[in-house]
Amino acid sequence: MTRIYLDHSATCPALPRALDAFVTASQQLTGNPSSAHTEGRAARGLLEEARESIASRLGFPAAELLLTSGGSESCQTALLGVAEARSRVGAGRRILTSPLEHACVDAALQRLVQRGFERVDLPVSRSAVLDLAVLAEALQEGASLVSLLAYSNELGTLLPLREVAELCAAAEVPLHLDGVALLGRGAIPQLPGRVLWSFSAHKIGGLPGIGVLRLPADVPFAALLPGAQELGRRAGTESAALAAAFAAALQAGEAFPRAAMQLAETRFLTALAAAQAGVEPLACGGRLPGVLTLHCAGVRARSLVMRLDLEGLACSRGAACSSGAEEPSQVVLGLGYGREFAESCIRVSLGPRHPDGELERAAGLLAKTVRQLRR
């Protein structure tokens, strides 16, 4: 039986054109992009071509794109690099964020707290809606940085990006947006103020091991990995081949077109409702379709995900990097649900092209397995 992959938020299968770009570049290039000889200049040429292409698809100047090893490094560079540098120019040590952030952001914040920064979690409602009035008030008390998840990789909710950016711009506080799960789901909006963005290639069919941080030129910044590459903003030899693969994935167009995702989600949820297994999506405000957290009452998510895997269905208990952990999803807990509730939640993240009948089969498998585990 063919397996069903409903874990696109963890990673997206590599696109053939991204693989081609990677292989072609790897075969053609022998030099290091920092070397001055002909081979080095060839690698530099391809790297900068890929950066230009990525930048034009994202809508930012190429000089503001810092290549990193992925989304985690981009987020952590934004937080650690900017918070420290801003505190040195008198911006204080208060960072505004939310309880719904990805584990890589939480980890960077933990480090900043150890270094004497204050983490302020802005309240969110049960349906994951951020209170903008509270953000406005918190900004008045001063902040060195605001860091928020643009699109939730667990709940499918979209932050009111423009409103948040306008408030931060008015308060003259830089805003970092974790755009890793937003990429491929529509154009990245041009926002007012000093906005940093983190993105990762493997979430849209590029290859793992590369991401970007959009770092506006006027934001104080201290490198996380000090060194000469990336205009002195990051140490480490850049991979022109990975950058070419990232550019190729972006050139393929949106990885998760809205209409296709809506159709997929409707098919899946209709089949799930018809199965009447008491599996309910969390009711969240401001969602884009395709990413769902499902509450499976009376069932432990850990056992459910394992059983589903044996049945041929790949899904998760939350973000991939924390799904091996004992703890249930921090995001579901962050919404204010209790531990028992969170321990019964799984995440499904759909793709844009499921063959006919696949999502109905997935819903049927889920319902059947939930019933078996309840016995």
Q: Hey, which residues are catalytic here?
A: 321
Based on CB atoms, which residue is closest to ligand PLP, 185 or 307? 185
Fill in the per-residue mask, 62 to 81: x = in contact with ligand PLP (CB under 6 A), - = not in contact. Answer: --------xxx--x------
| Distance of closest approach, residue 329 Cβ to ligand PLP, in angstroms | 13
Which span (89-97, 266-274, 285-293, 314-322) binds ligand PLP, by CB under 6 A?
314-322
Three-state helix/strand/coil letters over 252-309 = CCCCCCHHHHHHHHHHHHHHHHHHCCCEEECCCCCECCCEEEEEECCCCHHHHHHHHH
Among candidate residues 149, 207, 218, 161, the one with its CA nearest the CA of residue 22: 207
Say whether residue 320 binds ligand PLP (CB under 6 A): yes
Say whether residue 200 binds ligand PLP (CB under 6 A): yes
Instruction: Give the span between the Cα atoms of 144 and 185, in whole angstroms.
Output: 29
- Which residue in 86, 102, 194, 234 binds ligand PLP (CB under 6 A)? 102
| Distance of closest approach, residue 318 Cβ to ligand PLP, in angstroms | 10
Give residues with Cβ within 8 angstroms of 338, minimum separation 6.
none
Based on CB atoms, which residue is closest to ligand PLP, 158 or 365? 158
Contact 246, 108 (CB under 8 A): no
Distances (CA, A) of 47 to 19, 29, 30, 50, 309: 16, 11, 13, 5, 39
Contact 269, 367 (CB under 8 A): no
Give residues with Cβ within 8 angstroms of 81, minimum separation 6.
221, 222, 223, 224
| Distance of closest approach, residue 154 Cβ to ligand PLP, in angstroms | 8
Instruction: Give the span between the Cα atoms of 10 and 203, in whole angstroms.
Output: 7
Residue type at 233?
Answer: R
Return the residues of window 148-167 that contact ligand PLP according to CB under 6 A.
Answer: 149, 153
| Distance of closest approach, residue 200 Cβ to ligand PLP, in angstroms | 3
Based on CB atoms, which residue is closest to ligand PLP, 165 or 272? 165
Based on CB atoms, which residue is closest to ligand PLP, 178 or 238? 178
Say whether residue 180 binds ligand PLP (CB under 6 A): yes
Based on CB atoms, which residue is closest to ligand PLP, 51 or 185? 185
Based on CB atoms, which residue is closest to ligand PLP, 263 or 321? 321
| Distance of closest approach, residue 202 Cβ to ligand PLP, in angstroms | 6
| Distance of closest approach, residue 149 Cβ to ligand PLP, in angstroms | 6
Q: Is 166 helix (H, G, I), strand (E, B) or coil?
A: helix
Instruction: Give the span between the Cα atoms of 72 and 322, in whole angstroms.
Output: 13
Instruction: Give the span between the Cα atoms of 155 and 162, in whole angstroms.
Output: 20
Say whether residue 104 binds ligand PLP (CB under 6 A): yes
| Distance of closest approach, residue 320 Cβ to ligand PLP, in angstroms | 6
Number of residues that bind ligand PLP (CB under 6 A): 18
Residue type at 360?
Answer: E
Say whether residue 211 binds ligand PLP (CB under 6 A): yes
Question: Which residue is at the shortest CB distance from ligand PLP?
Answer: 71
Say whether residue 250 binds ligand PLP (CB under 6 A): no
Q: Which residue is listed with tokens 């990245």?
A: 188
Based on CB atoms, which residue is closest to ligand PLP, 199 or 275? 199
Say whether residue 7 binds ligand PLP (CB under 6 A): no
Helix, strand, coil percentages in the chain from 3-state DSSP, rounded to 5: 45, 15, 40
- The contact set with ligand PLP (CB under 6 A) reads 9, 70-72, 75, 102, 104, 149, 153, 178, 180-181, 200, 202, 211, 319-321
